[in-house]
Amino acid sequence: MMAHAADTRGRVEFRAVEIAFDGRRGPTPAVTRTTLTLEPGTFTAIIGPSGCGKSTLLNAAAGFIAPAHGEILVDGAPVRGPDPEIGVIFQQYALFPWLTALGNVDFALRRFGFSRAERRQKAMAALAEVGLRGQEKKFPGQLSGGMKQRVAIARTFAGRPKALLMDEPFGALDAQTRGSMHDLLSGVWRAHLATVLFITHDVDEALVLADRIHVMSSGPGRIVESFELSAARPRSAARFDAAQLAMRARILDLLRPAAEPAA
Amino acid sequence: MTASAPRRPPLRPALGRSLSGPLRPVVSLGFVLAIWSAVSLAGLVNEALFPAPWTVVSAFIEMARQGVLWEDLRVSLGRAAIGFFIGAGLGVAAGLATGRTQLFRMLLGPFLSLMRPIPAIALVPVAIVWFGIGEESKYFVIAYTVFLTVWFNTHHGMEYVPEIYIRASRSLGASRLREFLVVVIPAAAPHIAAGIRLGVALALLSLVAAELTGASSGIGYRLQEARQYVRTDRMFALLIVLGAAGALVDQAVHRICRRLVHWEQA
Ligand SMILES: Nc1ncnc2c1ncn2[C@@H]1O[C@H](COP(=O)(O)OP(=O)(O)OP(=O)(O)O)[C@@H](O)[C@H]1O
Ligand SMILES: [Mg+2]
């Protein structure tokens, strides 16, 4: 299915974005002057060592924190705070434990003014899409980590965001579950055509999912190298092509502490 | 966290390991009763000051026959309940306001913190001057104690709602009102429930202080009366009834709260 509308929706631009936190000796930059454009409908991964500012960059795009300099635009409009057009998926799932799986998805549907019956039907469909048919009445506490993240994915996509920000969403899952989550996310992403910014620690994960990979370095946080992937989908970490393997080696080199300039 | 996995029984210290759930209070009470009986039988204590269990039982039966016991219990629990509902209602409302609104926090927070160390019994003179020796002064003393505790717990629950829930809620386009009702209040609910449970315990604890504001019925009054006639057996019976009623109410409230905040156990 070709959806031309999607080509014009969900362009995310970081323009000379600098983000600082108050340290003991005044504001310290966590991310320096970063310029980055996410084309509509693309999947961008950011990888980098712990503490290099990946989450900080994502939180600014989500409207949770304000940049000290520069601005972040979504389809030309500056981000001024959390916005349902910009979906967020958290590593800790952030499901509301007092609502059922269905209730959590329903929460995202409230903003559209659907009738109760429509909301219910759409929430059921969203959960079925992530493979949770029959689990609608369960509370998050009754679901495994992988199932919780499926609910979170269903919930976020139900809100029809133009852009989707994911901060190490599968970081807490075991390798096997993570593999099936990659397939699931690739499928849902293609069906909904959102622009994705995906943060990870895992090079293989980035190589399986992304169209473009940016490697960040710390002290202070910045993008040091970017890669374009053209490998056909669906992809698998077990069958990387030569380009992916070369990229993998290069990224691993970049991530090795010795390769980093002394901070 | 897999919900279907069978739960392991919690680890217990060696001595208590073989005693399971419902039997434990019986064993504990039996143990205390045995020591109490032994001490009485051995004549180690003055029976007039420290009555034997059977003397207390006959005092209990005597009061129950006269009908005063149930009437006193009804009156006292009624007072505790009314005082509790007034105090808890106001406490939750104040906590919701001070926990999330900068203005109310600034206006009320320090003042309420200052009131917190004032014990219920210190309020008895004020209650008598304000409300006389009628029922209102009892409600006032009980409601005051309950209010402070419930407010304090609600306030803290509201203040420490995990930021990630607020972020998720706003990113999903919830209005501030819906965020408050569907996210903030449930997130604080475990704290509010803990405050309510403490409030119930405090309502019963401050009951006797409240009945010092000149009562002519109630467990507290009956205790005063027993003191005048030096009836330690009656005092013991009344104290045990008060303790048992308190424990039963506390258990009931605990169960209700656990159902209301069912997701906390997960
Ligand atoms: N709220 C905050 N206040 C002060 N400093 C912060 C705050 N959040 C992050 N930082 C600092 O900013 C830097 C970047 O943090 P960030 O969380 O973005 O790292 P990250 O790349 O996401 O790391 P990880 O891979 O471990 O999640 C770190 O040095 C951190 O100490
Ligand atoms: Mg992070």
Residue B213 token pair: 């504001």
Examine the domain organization and report whether A13 and A73 are in the same domain.
Answer: yes
How far from the centroid of its chain's Cα atoms is residue B206's Cα? 9
Nearest to A94 among B2, B168, B186 (CB): B168
Of A85, A90, A124, A83, residue with least CA distance to A105: A124
Q: Is the pLDDT of residue A259 over 60?
A: no
Q: How far apart are CA B126 and CA B148, in angstroms?
A: 17
Q: Is A34 in the pocket of ligand 1 (CB under 6 A)?
A: no
Angle between the B135-159 and B68-100 helix axes, to the nearest 10 degrees?
Answer: 40
Residues of B in contact with A168 (CB under 8 A): none
Contacts of A107 in chain B (CB under 8 A): 169, 172, 174, 182
Ligand number with the minimum distance to the CA of A50: 1
Cβ distance A142 to B262 less than 8 Å, yes or no, reads no
Same domain, A117 and A226: no
The whole-chain average pLDDT of chain B stands at: 87
Q: Which residue has the least CA distance to atom 12 on ligand 1?
A: A30
Its pTM surpasses 0.90: no
Confidence (pLDDT) at A3: 45
Find the CATH number of the domain harbouring B189.
1.10.3720.10
Q: Which residue has the higher pLDDT, A36 or B21?
A: A36
Ligand 1, atom 26, residue with closest C-alpha: A50
Domain check: are A181 and A81 in the same one?
A: yes
Classify residue B35: in a domain, yes or no. no
Nearest to B172 among A64, A97, A107 (CB): A107
Both A109 and A150 in one domain: the answer is: yes
* Domain membership flag for residue A63: yes
Say which of B172, B182, B265 has its CB closest to residue A159. B172
**Whose CA is closest to B118, among B98, B96, B77, B147?**
B147
User: Where are the extended beta strands (E) located within chain A?
Assistant: 12-23, 26-38, 43-47, 69-74, 77-78, 86-89, 163-167, 195-200, 212-217, 222-228
Distance separating alpha carbons of residues B77 and B84, to the nearest angstrom: 10
Which three-class secondary structure state does DSSP give residue B152? helix
- Give residue-wise pLDDT tens across range B54-82: 999 999 999 899 988 889 999 999 999 99
Q: Hey, of B1, B163, B169, B171, which one would you mutate to test binding to chain A, going by the most A CBs within 10 A of its CB? A: B171
Higher pLDDT pick, A25 / B5: A25
Confidence of residue B118 (pLDDT cuts 50, 70, 90): confident
> Whose CA is closest to atom 18 on ligand 1?
A53
Distance from CA of A120 to the nearest CA of B (A): 17
Q: What is the pLDDT of residue A70?
A: 94
Residue A201 CA: which ligand is closest?
1
Q: Could you read off the pLDDT of A161-211 as tens digits, one per residue?
A: 999 999 999 998 998 899 999 999 999 998 888 999 999 999 999 999 999
Task: Indicate whether B44 belongs to any domain.
Answer: no
CA separation for the pair B127, B121 (Å, rounded): 10
- Residue A88's closest CA among A166, A186, A11? A166
The pairing of beta strand A195-200 with beta strand A43-47? parallel
B18 domain-assigned? no
Question: Would you say A233 and A88 are in contact if contact means Cβ atoms under 8 Å apart?
Answer: no
- Domain membership of residue A107 as a residue range: 95-160
CB distance B123 to B140 below 8 Å = yes
- Report the nearest-CA residue for atom 20 of ligand 1: A51
Indicate if A104 and A30 belong to the same structural domain: no
Nearest ligand (C-alpha, residue A59): 1
Determine contact, residues A60/A72, Cβ cutoff 8 Å.
yes
- CA A67 – ligand 1 centroid, Å: 14
Tens digits of per-residue pLDDT, A207-234?
Answer: 999 999 999 998 888 999 999 999 998 8
Q: With a 6 A CB cut-off, is A19 part of the ligand 1 pocket?
A: no
A57 alpha carbon, closest ligand: 1
* Structural domain total, chain A: 2
Residue closest via CA to ligand 1's atom 25 equals A50
Specify the pLDDT at position A2. Answer: 43
Ligand 1 neighbour A96 (Cβ under 6 A): no
Q: Is pLDDT at A8 greater than 70 in this prediction?
A: no
Mutate to test the pocket of ligand 1, among A54, A170, A215 (most ligand atoms within 8 A of CB): A54
Domain CATH for A208: 3.40.50.300
Residue A263, in any domain of the structure: no
Q: What is the dihedral of CA B159, B195, B179, A165, to 10 degrees?
A: 60
Structure confidence at residue B45 as a pLDDT band (50, 70, 90): confident
Q: Could you give the C-alpha distances from B62 to A106, B104, B113, B227, in angstroms and in order?
A: 61, 53, 46, 17
Do A4 and A47 sit in the same domain of this protein? yes
Residue B169 belongs to some domain of the structure: yes
Q: Kindly state whether residue B78 falls inside one of the protein's structural domains.
A: yes
Q: Are residues A251 and A137 in the same domain?
A: no
pLDDT in tens, B96-111: 988 888 888 888 888 8
CA distances, A201 to each of A144, A214, B181 (Å): 22, 12, 36
Residue at a domain's end among A112, A142, A160? A160
**Cβ–Cβ of B266/A140 closer than 8 Å?**
yes
Q: What is the pLDDT of residues B206-245, one digit of tens each?
A: 888 888 777 888 998 898 888 889 899 999 999 999 899 9
* Bridge partners for A29 per DSSP: A20
* Domain annotation covers residue A173: yes
Residue A221, strand partner residues? A31
Range of the domain at B247: 53-265
DSSP lists the bridge partners of residue A23 as A26
Residue B46 dihedral angles phi and psi, to the nearest 5° = -70, 120
Do residues A166 and A62 share a domain? yes
Residue A1 scores a pLDDT above 60: no
Based on the fold, state whether residues A51 and A140 are members of the same structural domain. no
User: Of A129, A124, A162, which is closest to residue A39 (Cα–Cα)?
Assistant: A162
Tokens of A248: 């993998």
Together in a domain, A155 and A166: no
**Domain-embedded: residue A90:** no
Chain B residues with CB under 8 Å of A62 CB are: 167, 171
Could you tell me if B211 and B76 are in contact, meaning their C-beta atoms sit under 8 angstroms apart?
A: yes
Whole-angstrom distance, CA of residue A227 vs CA of residue A207 = 10
The verdict on a CB contact (< 8 Å) between A156 and B172 is yes
User: Is the previous residue joined to A220 through a cis bond, with omega within 30 degrees of 0?
Assistant: yes
The CA-atom distances, in angstroms, between A168 and each of A89, A188, B62, B84, B119 are 9, 17, 71, 47, 51
Cβ(A53) – ligand 1 distance below 6 Å: yes
- In terms of domains, do A64 and A173 share one? yes
**Three-class SS state of B163:** helix
* Residue B45 falls inside a structural domain: no
Measure Cα distances from A100 to A105, A137, A228 in Å: 9, 5, 40
Note whether residue B10 is domain-resident: no
Q: Are B57 and B115 in contact (CB under 8 A)?
A: no
Pocket test for ligand 1, best of A52, A59, A165, A215 (most atoms within 8 A of CB): A52
Residue with CA nearest ligand 1 atom 9? A56
**A47 touches ligand 1 (CB under 6 Å):** no
Domains contained in chain B, number: 1
Q: Are B110 and B124 in contact (CB under 8 A)?
A: no
Residues A188 and A71 in one domain: yes
Q: Tens of pLDDT along B137-173?
A: 899 999 999 999 999 999 999 988 999 999 999 999 9
pLDDT at position B1: 42
Among B39, B57, B102, B80, CA closest to B208: B80
| Residues B152, B140: Cα–Cα separation, whole Å | 18
Residue B141 falls inside a structural domain: yes
- Report the separation in Å between the CA atom of A54 and the middle of ligand 1, taken as the mean of its atom positions: 8
